[in-house]
Structure 1
Amino acid sequence: MKTLSFLTKKLGFGIIWLLLGLGLFSCEPDPIEIELPAHEPKLVIATQVFPDKYLAVQVSKSFSSLAGEGTDLSTDTTFLKTLVVEHALVQITFNGQTETLKHLRNGFYVSRNIPQNFQQRYTLLVRDSVSGLECSAATEMLAPVRFEKLEPEVKRTEKDTTVTLHFTLADPGPKRNFFLISLVGANRKNLLPKNRIGTFNAVQEQIILVNDATFENGRYEGKEKLTLETSDTLVVSLSNISEPYYNYLQLYQKSNSLMNQLTGEPINLPTNIQNGYGFFSAHNPMVQIFKISER
C-alpha cells in the first residue's frame, strides 16, 4: 500500500552512512543531495460479500513510507482518518445494470441489491470527487461451497470457556480450489496478537485459508481453537475464492493486521485493481450461526 519502496528508503540511509564513514578520512567532503520521488497516492480497495445480495466496499488512500514511524502512525487517529475516502462514487456493474453503493462512514460503501450469481462478471468503478483519484477492477462470482461437517466443541471450566471448531471440507471438483473461512464473534486462540490497536483485529485472527493441495482422499479435516469475544454468538462463513485472492490474503496475513499493513514495512501484495491497490473479490459465502451459550 505504500508506493514509495522501503528498499529505496534503506538505500538512501545506507548512502548517508557510507558518506559519513568516508568523512573520517577527509576534512571537507563534498555535500551530496539525495532527491526522493514525491509520493503519488492511489486508492486502496477492500471488499466483502454478505448473504442476501449485500456487498461492501471500503475505500482508502495509500501514503508515503516517509510519513512517520509505523508505531506512531498506528495510534494517530487524526492521521488515520485522512486515509479513508468519504466522498467517492462507488459503482458495481453486472448483467447490464449498474448499482451505486451508499456511503456509510469510515470509507465504507454498501449495497443490498447485488445478486450473487454463479459465473456472473462484476465490474467495480471508484472515483473520489475530492482527490480526483480513480480506479477500477473486475471479478467473477465463483460457485458456493458448503462444509461437509462443521461443529463447535465447547468445554467449560470454572475459569473460562474453550471452543474448538471442527470442520471438514470436500473437494468440489477437478479444478484447483481455494477456500476462505471467516469468523465473527471469536478469534483463533493460537494467533492472538500481542498488541491490539483500537477496534482493528489482526487478519489472521479472523480467517482460515485452505487449498485443496492439502486435501487427503478428496477431504480436509481441520480444527481451530477459538477464544470468544463479548458475544457468545459464533458466525462461521465459507467461501470458494480465486487463486489470486487466496495469494493476496496469504501475504496480507503476514502483515499481522490492518494497522501494520497501513503503517509497517511494505509487502508487495498482488492486486487486481487497475490504478490502485487492494483486491476486488465477489465470492459467495455460505454462513452458519451457533449460539455457544446453548451448547
Structure 2
Amino acid sequence: MKIARYYPILFAMFLLAGCLEPVDLPILNGEARLVLNSNFTNDQYFHVRVSQSRNLQDSSTFVFVNNATVKIFHDGELLETLTYFPPDDKDEFPSYRSLSIKAEFGIEYEIIAEAPGFASITSSGKVPFPTEITDTSLEDEGNQTSSSFVFFSLGIDDNQVEDNYYHILVYQLADQLVSSSNGTKDFETRLFGPLKMFTFDPDAPVSFFIDNRGALIRDRSFNGQDKKFTFRVDFEKLRTTNDNGRIIIELRSVTEDYYDYLTSIKRQHDRSNNPLSEPAIDFTNIENGYGLFTGFSVSRDTIDLR
C-alpha cells in the first residue's frame, strides 16, 4: 500500500503505530537535552527516537543520538534494553526498538534513556483501553472544482469512569489504475489523506490538528454519554475506480499527555504563523528532557462510497 499524499510532520506518523517523528524543540539558553519521542499501541513493539534539543538561534537540522542506552521497565523490573537501528529504506530516521516485548493495554511502562554528555531522562506511559465506535454513516458526498468532499457521522460510547481523550483520523482507501515501468497498467490499492477536516457545530468539543487534518476531542462536555459527531472531510478526489472506494474512520483512545502534546504542537504551529500571538508553552512528559512517551488504542470502521 502506498500513501499518495505527503502528510505534515507528526500527522504522517500517527497513520501507523510507531514512534513520533522528530519535533523541533529548541531551548533558549543552557546545555542541550535529550529529546525522546515514542508513541506505542497494544501488541506492537516499542519504537523510540532519540535526538537532542538545539538553541533557538540554531537553524541546523535534527541531530539524532545514536549512542544512547534506552531501557523499558514495568514496576521497576527491566523488561528490555532496546536495540539501535540506523536509517534504512523503510525508515529515514534512526531509532531504538524492542525485539521481544510488545505493549499491552493498561500497563504502565517506564523508560530511561542515557547518552554520554547528557543528563539521563525518564518518563512513563500506558496504552488506554479502546473506546468503540457505536455508529458511522455517510451523510453526503459531492465534487467541487478542485476537490471532493464527504459528510460523515460517528458515535463515541464514552466511559464515565475516567476522563477520556480521542484523536479522530480519516483516510480514503481506493484502487487506482497505475502504469508500471514496463508500460502495463494495473489496479493498486492506495491510501489517501484528507485536505481538510472540519465541523459546522460551533458547540462541538473539538480541537483540530495542524492544517485541520485530524480532530482532537476531550469528553468534558459529554462524560459517560454516547455522543454523535458530524464532520466534513475534503479530499483531492473521491476515487471509486474498480468499485473499491472506501472511507476509513479511525478513533484513537489517547492519554491526556498525548492530547496535551498535540494541542501544544498545534499552538506552536499557530504561533509561528502569527508573530503577534501570545507565547505558547511546549508540553513534554519527559523528565530532564523533551518529547513524549505515551500510548494509544484504536477502533476503526469503514464506509463504502456510493
- How high is the TM-score relative to the length of structure 2? 0.62
**Is the 1:44–1:62 Cα contact (8 Å) retained in structure 2?**
yes
**Is the 1:122–1:282 Cα contact (8 Å) retained in structure 2?**
no
- How high is the TM-score relative to the length of structure 1? 0.64
Query: Does the residue aligned with 1:126 lie in a helix, a strand or coil?
Result: strand
Structure 1 pair 242/109, CA: closer, same or farther in 2 (3 Å)? same
Amino acid at match of 2:71: Q
| In the alignment, structure 1 residue 106 sits paired with structure 2 residue 59 | no
| CA offsets 1:233-266 (integer angstroms, 9 cap, x no match) | 7554323233343223222211228x98xxx996
**Is the 1:85–1:106 Cα contact (8 Å) retained in structure 2?**
no
- Equivalent residue number for residue 243 of structure 1: 256
- Equivalent residue number for residue 91 of structure 1: 71
Whole-angstrom CA distance in 1 between matches of 2:132 and 2:152: 15
TM-fit CA distance, 1:211: 1.3
| CA offsets 1:125-170 (integer angstroms, 9 cap, x no match) | 22345x5453221123322212112345562437432133422112
Whole-angstrom CA distance in 2 between matches of 1:227 and 1:90: 41
- Equivalent residue number for residue 33 of structure 2: 42
Whole-angstrom CA distance in 2 between matches of 1:216 and 1:173: 5
Query: Does the residue aligned with 1:285 lie in a helix, a strand or coil?
Result: strand
Query: Does the residue aligned with 1:275 lie in a helix, a strand or coil?
Result: coil
| CA offsets 1:153-189 (integer angstroms, 9 cap, x no match) | 5624374321334221122123222222234542361
| In the alignment, structure 1 residue 123 sits paired with structure 2 residue 110 | yes
| In the alignment, structure 1 residue 175 sits paired with structure 2 residue 146 | no
Structure 1 pair 88/149, CA: closer, same or farther in 2 (3 Å)? farther
Identity %: 21
More strand by share: 2
TM-fit CA distance, 1:120: 0.8
Query: Does the residue aligned with 2:56 lie in a helix, a strand or coil?
Result: coil
Among 213, 225, 234, the residue aligned to 1:218: 225
| In the alignment, structure 1 residue 2 sits paired with structure 2 residue 15 | no
TM-fit CA distance, 1:282: 1.9
Q: How does 1:182-221 map to 2 (within 5 A)?
A: 182-183=169-170, 185-187=192-194, 189=196, 203=210, 205-215=212-222, 218-221=225-228
- Equivalent residue number for residue 166 of structure 1: 153
Unpaired runs of 5+ residues, structure 2, are: 1-24, 172-191, 199-208, 240-245
Whole-angstrom CA distance in 1 between matches of 2:155 and 2:228: 4
Whole-angstrom CA distance in 1 between matches of 2:238 and 2:72: 33
TM-fit CA distance, 1:276: 0.5
TM-fit CA distance, 1:122: 0.7
- Equivalent residue number for residue 253 of structure 1: 266
Whole-angstrom CA distance in 2 between matches of 1:156 and 1:229: 12
Larger Rg: 1
Structure 1 pair 226/121, CA: closer, same or farther in 2 (3 Å)? same
- Equivalent residue number for residue 65 of structure 1: 56
Amino acid at match of 1:205: N
- Equivalent residue number for residue 22 of structure 1: none
TM-fit CA distance, 1:92: 2.5
Structure 1 pair 190/234, CA: closer, same or farther in 2 (3 Å)? closer
Amino acid at match of 2:27: T
**Is the 1:44–1:278 Cα contact (8 Å) retained in structure 2?**
yes
Amino acid at match of 1:44: V
**Is the 1:53–1:112 Cα contact (8 Å) retained in structure 2?**
no
More helix by share: 1
Amino acid at match of 1:124: I
